[in-house]
Structure 1
Amino acid sequence: MKKDGDVINGMDDWESTLDNIDWKEVLQEIDSALLDNLAAELGFRSYELLKRASQMLTPDYYLIHLSDGRWGLWSPTHYKHQDPIFAHSREEMFALIQDGFQLPNEEAVQYVQETLDSVRQTQRCIQCGFEFDPGDPLREEWGMESGVKAPEQFCSPECAMESVVKQLKKDHGWE
């Protein structure tokens, strides 16, 4: 049975622990988790990969062209209260942007058209199912000439190796 002194000491410890929490760090961790959730919603392994595969439209909004043909407009700053917006075609995305941003002049219309033209379509990894940018310069670092069969179908060296190991196990009856 706990004594009153034990309860008070326990509360003092709890209050002391609470006072020592770095709330700024906690909020940064929550923001990071929300951005990773945004990436997952768009089919990416991480926020960093999503951002690298996307094209900036404005400092607050990015465009993505997914492997299934859909276009997405997303915002890291507005994500907490605004889900990504999807369109089934480039023309539909242009119309959504034109309506949503109230493009003020022909120069703005031209900028949006050029930005849409510069968005590369992502691919889906055949091993893990995540989206990836096939033109990401970091992919060159893991050796497209490595002899791995169809490396363009994998998002990472890990997925390519997993696929090779899986095939070896299957071929040799090691499963």
Structure 2
Amino acid sequence: MSRRGHDRRVRPRRTTVLRVTEDFDAPVDRVFALIVDRSAFLDAMPPGVGVRDWPEPFGRGGILDLRWGAAGLAPVRWTAVIDAYEEGRTFSDLQVSGPFRYWRHTHTVEPFAEGTRHTDVVEFSTGLGPVGDLAVAIAIRGAFGPRLRRMRAALGSG
């Protein structure tokens, strides 16, 4: 439960959904291994992101405990549980404590052409209404470009 008395794992009636899809010239197993690897996660994130705890082995029920501090802002602790997991294909992390009223991020990889299609679906609510969600959606969308470029470089993909 949060300080405001609601469980952040419960999806509110209104959320914002972002979908980002990227194709990689790498096999599915390599792309999936990259997205569940602690070091690769840190390499793909902007400066200021730290990992306090990472599940080993990575799978359903595992806890991701992160610290985000950037642009001179005080660090924010963000804890998520892996609430869905299918080896080599998909997983979702659900925020249990952190800055959002609600946050669920689903990562999926699937064969596509001669490589892999990687899809991120982020469903969230800031608790600040449509204008707050729009502002955050723009920031999240902007963060995906550098992250996907770092993933592409790590995979040696195009």
TM superposition score category, shorter chain reference: under 0.3
Larger Rg belongs to: 1
More strand by share: 2
* TM-score, reference length from structure 1: 0.24
Highest RCO, 1 vs 2 (Cα 8 Å, sep ≥ 6) = 2
More helix by share: 1
